[in-house]
Structure 1
Amino acid sequence: MEYLDVSYNNALIVASIVIAIAAGFTGLSLSKDLSQQSVSRRKVSVAASAIALGGGIWSMHFVAMLGIQMPILFYYDAAITLASALLAILIVGTALLLLHFRERTPTTVSVAGAIVGCGILAMHYVGMAGLQLCRAVYTPFGIFLSVISAIVLCIAAFWIAYGQRTNRSILLGTLCFAFAVCTVHFVATASTRFIEVSALHEFGPVMSNETLALGVILTSFVILGAFLWMGVTFFVPPASTPVTPLPILDTVEPTSDKVVSNPAPISLRIPCERNGVTHLVDPALVAFVRAEGHYTYVYTNSAQHFCAWPINEAAKRLTGAGFVRTHRSYLVNPTQVDHFERLKDNGVCHFAGTDLPPVPVSRSNMKLVREALGL
């Protein structure tokens, strides 16, 4: 078996890395703050994010493949090449659905990262199967290394990007995602050899490198355009809620015929945003507060409200109102708890006669919660 001599175009290699970074940033930015959107808008954002990430994986791969130079003419099967793109988008979309439509636990984030890693691997090897007039020959070690790289790096990327959902974590997650995509391709390609095949094995129409280049250029143009669009708005601070200054009270000198009384203190209420309007919610009506990135959601019997307080700020303010911390992401109003369920080393708080979900109680907070509930 005689292997073909292979060389690489360095400019296209660099371009493929840029595409991976742009796609990662665009996809992870599009999925930011989805919990504040309606379900229909969240679905659209998840679909757009999946197209950006999956399309970026595909574009990176084939931009790099265009940089491969061999002493023979070789072509691509159009149907298999298209299928590899759709496969990447669908698999990435599945991972994003888990992250944005299920409870985001460490297990969920890890599973989503592993799924995206499998999507990169599937896209790479299916895309390589589309080669015509030459065939890729793999080594077991190269396959093993690419599998480990894809899964481990993608899990790390999603842990970073979805840990706090800050601008900094998204940027670091972008770099980790791009590194995962590029590592899988270059590690797999470095251990791959190519041999000449005399006959075409067509599944669909055959296209040349020139035709593939047109498709890759179009896809890359869209990804880079979306990258610029997201980049313009990425660092723009959210509009702050105007604060009405407190009135200045005139100081009245006490006299024998005038009695000065102190103004009554304003009771604590939770500022919740909806459609640009700030509503003040009585803590007594709140069942629990759940962390969502740098923000929180406030749950009452009738609605779910968005609050700009981070969970630590909410804990600081609401402790005086009787709330207790049941979990690093949850605060509970004990007066709203109907019953408590013990589950080995942890527990769950349930609420009566409502559609409110149960709230987990971690082992470290178990004693405090039981005391607050009078157990």
Structure 2
Amino acid sequence: MAPGSAEAELLGRAFLTRVVEPGDEVAGRWVREYGVSEVVRRLRRGGRGLPGVSGKRWAGLRARADRAEPGRDLAAARDAGVRFVVPGDTEWPRQLDDLGDARPLGLWVRGRPSLRMWALRSVALVGARACTEYGAHMAAGLAAGLAERGWVVVSGGAYGVDGAAHRGALGAGGATAAVLACGVDRPYPPGHTGLITRIAEQGLVVGELPPGDHPTPSRFVLRNRVIAALTRGTVVVEAALRSGSLVTARAAQRLGRHTMGVPGPATSGLSAGVHELLRGDAVLVTDAAEIVELVGDMGELAPDRRGPVLPTDLLDPRTRQVLAGLPARGAASADDVARRAQTTPDDAVARLYELRALGYVERHGDGWKLTRQPLIPDRQGRRGC
């Protein structure tokens, strides 16, 4: 097998996912400077180590390398319906290259859709594991709204906000992808086995770690950079001040992605982290339309937010001014109304008769007064209370 062949590159990168931890920038620099084949050769044969690590760490990497079997990992992946996507493949999402030396060595992907195509129109929805009912409701509603608009919802497959986001997208018949901190053939958390299996059947399950590998606290944190880089923006639904979802949001900010937050009660500790983001560069969002306005194409604008239209809103502005010139109690002469409305008495009288026809005012002797229950014309011109 030629050292520079595509198969050697695939085997080499699969080997490295078993040896080095996700997001290891030192190993990423080795790959960039020496190439995959040379890094693999040095790790397999020992001898002179690579720069940037201590002798103790190099020995640890060598011990891992002795146990790595990339051919076996790739075979196990194929048996589980998993493919290994590496930089340079047509399915590789190029936005992951923004991570520089922390870019994944490759991604293990479970599911039929193209990761690259899905990532082009995707949004991350993340938040607290121990979320409130409000947080779960908002996550599911936002995910469903995004899915209905043709956006892929990306999250981490965890309990709380992540799970609600995945379920919201699936419930709307839309697309969702879970980025795991373990082997994609080993659903985690165990309580989400059914959900992650369903995601794999209808969407995508993605991870940096080879088949069978287990999650660790540090791997959860490092996984978040992939969620941030893969998507066009990150929405944080609920997050305490030390929440891991804030790591995703800050990674998104460093990468120049949109960062959004859903506000919660000012008294809620689970929203304190979101509110801190909103005090910075994050944008407040409350529904899917507002998210799409930020991450979507030009012209995908959220509707203007307005209160209900009142019957008086339909009046001519000068007629409304005359109506406002009437006292709240008692009657007033046409001259008094004209003076308050800053118009002529003749104009005031004409508009008062118009308002009487609409049921807003009535004659009271020589004066005019507001009716207690103005009659509101309907669309057919009939009047009713």
- Between Structure 1 and Structure 2, the one with more helix by share is 1
TM-score after normalising by structure 2: 0.18
- Between Structure 1 and Structure 2, the one with more strand by share is 1
TM-score after normalising by structure 1: 0.19
Look at both structures and tell me which one has the larger radius of gyration over its CA atoms: 2
Larger relative contact order (Cα-Cα within 8 Å, sequence gap ≥ 6): 1
